[in-house]
Chains A and B, each alone.
Chain A
Amino acid sequence: MSSVIKEYRTVKQIAGPLMLVEGVEGITYGELTDIKLSDGSARRGRVLEVTGDRAMVQVFEGTSGLSPQDVKVKFLGKGMELGVSIDMLGRVFDGFGRHIDDGPSIIPEKYLNVNGNPMNPFSRDYPNEFIQTGISTIDLLNTLVRGQKLPLFSGSGLPHSRIAAQIARQAKVLKTGERFAVIFAAMGITFEESEFFAADFRRTGAIERSVLFMNLADDPPIERIALPRMALTAAEYLAYEKDMHVLVILIDLTNYCEALREISAARREVPGRRGYPGYLYTDLSTIYERAGRIKGKNGSITQIPVLTMPEDDKTHPIPDLTGYITEGQIMIHRGIHAQGIYPPVDVLPSLSRLKDKGIGVGKTREDHADIMNQLYSAYARGKNAKELAVVLGESALSEADVLFVKFSDAFEDQFVRQGENENRSIEESLRIGWDLLTMLPKSELKRVRDAYIEKYYPKK
């Protein structure tokens, strides 16, 4: 490999975010480039394809204002790296890992390639430790565990940012003496949204144990492709080298995917569904699969990706492919939001696939699974009856169905609804669940073992 760093003024084509440099030598795939303009400004690029002496370079800041005669391209002979250090905590970075706050420069302990390597499945440890988020619909019904990737599927205008911030603020395990960090990776969100998070982190002091990576709506879109990889590299460093339990919030993956589509279109690749590249699944998995735990390591990486579903459509490629990779999903619902309920979690289509491993004796409480199933099925029955009533009128409902409709309303009002700063313990969530179930005759509680009814049924 060439050790001399080479500079070229031979840009021949510029199209979309791509640039073709000719006459190059010793260039390798994935190599990072520095692009210098005559006005002294600089941009970054990455080699996407190299054929003979021609290299195709993706320009992260975009090509606007570039002219083939005016740029000098320097190939750096290495892939994209992040300098990591424990001092990153409390700091704010851009999509390239350059700090953008007023603090001093970080002196890296070392540099890590941001693409990482795939974790060996043999080395993985199965996620099974309960994380209490303080939100009943998650803790009791869609339990999050350490090392899981559990996305929020939302829509534009819905309060997913507030929910994500609440999770970041409240998440804890029922053990003490462990070290936490939050990594916040913002991709293409608005200044207001990002400020909401930053302010919240500052207000609660969480900023001290957080690392923020920010690419806002008016920042270069292609930079969004690098950003989650930077954030996850920092997360891996903190989790596996500094023994921290890291919660990574990635928001908003929809913007990330759009950046990917832009590049794919510029390369004239055969598009998959809705113009997104055929490798969108694989690309997303290289982000989401970086969640997890490793045998023999103390730290862990838990991911809460947030995405806004175009037109609230779950079958759109972005939520669809995400759902195929993540371990469940929390659905944020426009209708429930319109009813004025916060957090508007739609319980029925939400699912944590790892919940069973994180609940029960020694983790939460013995009756957790039964209560979960009972609440779920009673709520489902109530919702069904309600739908029926819409078609056939209230009078078509049986006595029992009327009761279940009442139950489901109360469930939304007392169990789903909670304050933005209300941090419910799992005991508290269980108690609310039990209280609600007293609305139904005991004979209807078929999913709860008799012994638990005996022990936990609220005494009037």
Chain B
Amino acid sequence: MNGNQGKVVKVSGPLVVASGLTGARMYEMVRVGEANLFGEIVEIKGDDYSIQVYEETEGIGPGQPVVRTGEPLSVELGPGLIRSIYDGVQRPLDALAKDFGDYIVRGAERPALDRSKKWDFKPVAKVGDRVSAGDVLGTVKESSLVVHRIMVPPGKSGIVKRINPVNGNVDTEIAVIDGADGPFSVTMVQKWPVREPRPVARKLPPDKPMTTGQRVIDMFFPMTKGGTACVPGPFGSGKTVVQHQLAKWADAQIVVYVGCGERGNEMTDVLLEFPHLKDPASGEPLMERTVLIANTSNMPVAAREASVFTGIALAEYFRDMGYSVALMADSTSRWAEAMREISGRLEEMPGEEGYPAYLGSRIASFYERSGNVICLGSDGRGGALSIVGAVSPPGGDLSEPVVQATLRVVKVFWGLDDKLAFSRHFPAINWLTSYSLYQEVVDHGVDLTLEGKWSVNRKRAMTILQREAELEELVRLVGIDSLAHDDRLLMQAAKMIREDFLHQNAFDDRDTYTSLPKQYRLLNTILFYYDEARKALREGVPLDALLKLDVLDDIARAKLIPEDTPEQFAALEKKIADTTRAAAIMR
């Protein structure tokens, strides 16, 4: 027996239980009630089908119809994704605003890809070519930064029977392929179930740095293309700013930004700002490489649970084209809370703090969808998908389940510290507790281009910072005056590393992004001062004189030196050498 239509039995918030859906599968989409709300089957017990509903369930009651769709929750993939803003289940928010007004009303629906938009398809494959999944059939210029590759969908192959340049919407046929079961038509759009990872030919360990223009990250806790990172921190510590900074300045070709259960204004901020910011590599507006998913905190929680998967499915699709993609999820804690809420309503046995027992495995399987890969397709192209997840632990307590489950899988930990945030040291990434397991990989790459001194300088700087922390303990007990002079000089160097290098104002046009060569020079300048001053100290120059040199102000402003003027750093180093020497002669 096959039940295409069942009935609501129970409603409890976002969870609806229905009966009479015999044959329905886990994660199949259904339409619920007279209001025709979207939902997804998340549990089957006998004839009870539990459904998480993506829209507010007020007005739904027992007896109302539930209709199967036969399909799992899927995304539409094709030209038109770039520059879009979607909700958690890929409804286009711009189209909804246009047609339904300023509020998201129930049952509102519009296709994810705008059918009124026409695209120019240029074939790459030729008639007679033998093609299989992932092979590029042709391209569409999607935005000034993105050439959209139309690929043979996963699981398909055959011989190209017909292919022509066309101009049309995404539903337009671009090719016909003779497959094993006869000819099939290919359009510019394909569908993919969000909970299923898209296949790749091979996964490789990440081996290239993903630069971010953020000094503390690139220098001390670097990220890779295809890597995973998390940013935990209490409220107001700067998670969202870090995520926005990466979305702006990371050297990824595509950015998918998932606002998961956070503020509406933060998405608006991105929407209004990105079209005016220029990608440092190409000079094109950043929006030209960006896709936004917005499930704000006041939107239904079930859609929040789905939003992370929606985002990653889109990201994988661009990775499959051979791009390096970066996905930011702010915040994965809200995603976990959505799971907790649904799990609670399902009356599942709770694990830690009420989270479901499968929390850890869900988080792990999400981050595992990242990677540096060889894509499907006979050209053997590579692609990469990096994931950066914010985590919002209650009270900033890192021992809570979401942080702990995340730390078990991610390779980079940028720990935000509210003490640093209070003292307005931003980004408030704690340099003593954070780590990156990609350090060696990145050093290896960057050292080749920067005189081999990148990693040497970094290690020295970190040693200085660690020593500072020890000395600070001492100072708290006995006061600064009782420290030896070279220790006080080290404290000065550490302070300069903190204030003049690590501190980076995201909202200052000149400071918001720093290239690797400039990062190197900036740190090198500080270390150069330290070396010169130590020499002078040994030669008997009084410490106070070295701590009061005018050139210290110049060093403090060095972060604002324009990108393409290395000569200014050379001049600064000369000034440092001159003034310390002058101080030595003075005495």
Contact = CB atoms under 8 A, between A and B. Distances in A.
A157 to B, nearest CB: 23
B58 A282 contact: no
Interface residues of B, number: 70
A120 B93 contact: yes
Interface stretch (A285-293, A410-418, A424-432): A285-293
Contacts of A348: 422
A53 B11 CA distance: 11
Contact of A120 (B17, B103, B236): B103
Nearest to A281: B337
A121 B62 contact: no
Contacts of A269: 344
A354 B101 CA distance: 26
A121 B85 contact: yes
Contacts of A117: 56, 103-106
A392 interface: yes
Interface string B290-310: 000010111101000000000
A279 B105 contact: no
B334 A124 contact: no
Interface string B57-87: 1111111100000000000000000000100
Most buried by B among A28, A272, A286: A28
B86 to A, nearest CB: 10
Interface size class for chain A?
Answer: 35 or more
A406 to B, nearest CB: 20
B212 interface: no
Contacts of B269: 126
Interface of A: 1, 25-31, 48-53, 79, 113, 115-127, 147, 240, 269-273, 278-279, 281-282, 285-286, 289-290, 292, 294-295, 297, 315-317, 320-321, 323-325, 327-329, 348-349, 351, 353-354, 356, 373, 376-377, 380, 391-392, 396, 446
A52 B263 CA distance: 37
B58 A115 contact: yes
B268 A124 contact: yes
Contact of A124 (B57, B264, B341): B264
13 contacts: A29-B59, A118-B264, A121-B85, A124-B265, A278-B344, A282-B298, A290-B298, A323-B236, A351-B236, A377-B424, A380-B423, A392-B478, A446-B553
Interface in B323-364: 334, 337, 340-341, 344, 350, 353-354
B353 A1 contact: no
B353 A273 contact: yes
B11 A50 contact: yes
Interface stretch (B151-159, B391-399, B515-523, B526-534): B391-399
Interface of B: 9-13, 17, 34, 56-64, 85, 93-94, 96-97, 101-106, 234-236, 259, 261, 263-265, 267-269, 271-272, 294, 296-299, 301, 334, 337, 340-341, 344, 350, 353-354, 392, 394-397, 422-424, 476, 478-481, 507, 553, 556
Contacts of B422: 348-349
B415 to A, nearest CB: 17
B12 A49 contact: yes
B235 A320 contact: yes
A285 B394 CA distance: 15
B57 A29 contact: yes
B93 A122 contact: yes
Nearest to B267: A121
A436 B58 CA distance: 57
A92 to B, nearest CB: 28
Contacts of A316: 395
A113 B34 CA distance: 18
Contact of B479 (A279, A290, A396, A446): A396
Contacts of B296: 118, 121, 285, 289
Most buried by A among B34, B64, B476, B479: B479
Given A28-B11, A121-B296, A270-B354, 6 more contacts: A27-B61, A50-B10, A115-B56, A122-B85, A282-B261, A292-B264
Contacts of A353: 236
B59 A289 contact: no
Contacts of A282: 261, 297-298, 301, 337, 341
B54 to A, nearest CB: 12
Contact of B235 (A25, A53, A294, A323): A323
Most buried by B among A53, A116, A124, A278: A124
A33 B87 CA distance: 33
